[in-house]
Amino acid sequence: MLGLRRIATVTCVVLLVGGTNACTAGPGPRPNADPNAAAELAARLGDADLVGQVLMPYAYGNDASNVSSASAAANRAYAGVSTPAEMVAKYRLGGLILVGTSADQTGAGTSNVESAAQVRVLTTGLQAQAGRLPAQVPMLIATDQEHGVVTRVRTGVTLLPGALAFGAAADPALTEAAWRATGAELAAMGITVDFAPVADVLGEDGGFIGSRSFGSAPDAVSVQVSAAVRGLRSSGVAATLKHFPGHGHTITDSHEQLPVLPQSREALGTDDLPPFVAGIGAGADLVMVGHLDVRAIDPGVAASFSSKVMIDLLRGQLGFRGVVVSDALNMAPARRYPAGEAAVLAMLAGTDLLLEPPDLAAAQQGLLDALRSGRLPRARLIEAVTRILSLKLRLSGTPQPAMSTVDTAEHRATAAAVAGASVTVLRGACSGPLLSGPVTVTSSGRADQQQARTWLTDALQARGVSVVPKAGTVVHLIGYRDEATDLSPDAAVTVAIDVPYLLRSARSPTLLATYSSTRASMTALAAVLTGAAPAPGRSPVTVTGLPRSACG
């Protein structure tokens, strides 16, 4: 069995961006351990096994070997096999991402992530199949468990508030504890890589990323990102910084088109890169590179295909030594190239792990052809695989927790503490009940707001408040995608349960923000509304015309 050494290091990174120097130092384990053992193993692998290690596709089905007929058909269309286990065997896969898209229903169905118990069964089956491959190393099994609006596993787990709520709570010790809890639950389910935390710093009005970010102040976001990384890694789950070099100052959805980052090199170094530097210093295992046109570095080329971004900036200037993973290659900016060509170009530019190629067979064949022709140097592929194997060896040193670790009372209490610490009064009284008489809870039509309305109703009733369908004191919930027309002119209290920017247009005498729509956040909101708890949060973003907190 290959050995594993943990080495404490001090990471000091010099940012040579626009003449700006920034250095972060801190003890912690190296992102990947024992590279010599990993390199020896990589050197022994054949071409197909090397290529398989750098591929991380998705698969349909809630079990490794037994899937629905619709999932089997979808897998055959994507990869020419019926089940996830067959996909692992055929393509010698080193990784798989669990997603929330179903072949059995349109819209927000589930495929890999129906419940915590089901995920554990699925990942156990996947790892058993991986053990039969020549590499005989565990798979990297990943998902996007950011919490908030991007949360893949929602049933049977502890749901934390979204990142912006952590920014409002501004308690790094609590952040670390919360992400340690979610890391323990992911590890128990057999998920070894979390594509979180989001290290993007928000620009004006939150742009596309919105509440997925910890806030708009680079220093404050850096503290939160570092804490989240430490929490995940302490539970044996790999942490991923995304979306390098920063998606927070864009309004464009990179799933649909290539966003442009027009800022100067100096602004990039001052406003966007600090959380990535901090996260690297905290030991982040992976960095996900976004499909972003960084005009100050490589104009017209997506960062996910740019050696100037991945090699010169991320590795050369920021000193990152872990695994570079692409954002999904089935997104529009990557699909400008055929699947095989995209895989080769991304590898040549510095990517180590290719996420969600749109045509798995084409991606594999493109890499094999490029390797055998010499276009893709074998040394480049071995370099990438060595980083991946080194990460796997480090992760394999942590025993898998029992399922009794999942959704414990302790973890739920941690989520509640985050929610309670984040509630913010932006206008109105800072103590005592914030409403009186029967209450009517309203919201716009989005599904998440309707669920939050139900949870808030339950929480208010549990505190003895009479909640009536109409004609009560109106508490109105608003969210990220709402327009000004979704504001209620009759609301005594307006609450932002996602980004709080729309509160600047609200006329209610009392304005609150929870930044998240989880049950824990609605329970904390009910406590503040009834005067049972204070609202200690401070908005992590600027809302025009309103203070960060009306309570000092």
For the annotated catalytic residues, the residue numbers are 255, 327
Pairing of strands 145-147, 150-151: antiparallel
Q: What does the alpha-carbon distance between residue 440 and residue 469 come to, in Å, rounded to a whole number? A: 6
Question: What's the rounded Cα separation, in Å, for the pair 145 and 179?
Answer: 10
Buried b (16+ CB within 10 A) or exposed e, 299-320: eebbbbbbebbbebbbbebbeb
From residue 374, alpha-carbon distances to 47, 48, 53, 378, 382 in Å are: 12, 15, 19, 8, 13
- Are 346 and 331 in contact by the 8 Å Cβ rule? The answer is no
- Closest CA relative to residue 282, chosen from 316, 240, 310, 312: 240
- What is the rounded distance in angstroms from the CA atom of residue 490 to the CA atom of residue 501? 19
Note whether 348 and 307 are within 8 A (CB).
yes
Report d(CA 477, CA 486) in Å as an integer. 9
Tokens linked to 139: 């798979």
Residue pair 487/505 in contact (Cβ under 8 Å)? The answer is: yes
Beta-strand ranges (E) seen in 305-381 are 323-326, 354-355
Q: Where are the alpha helices (DSSP H) in 210-288?
A: 218-234, 265-267, 274-281
DSSP structural state of residue 403: G
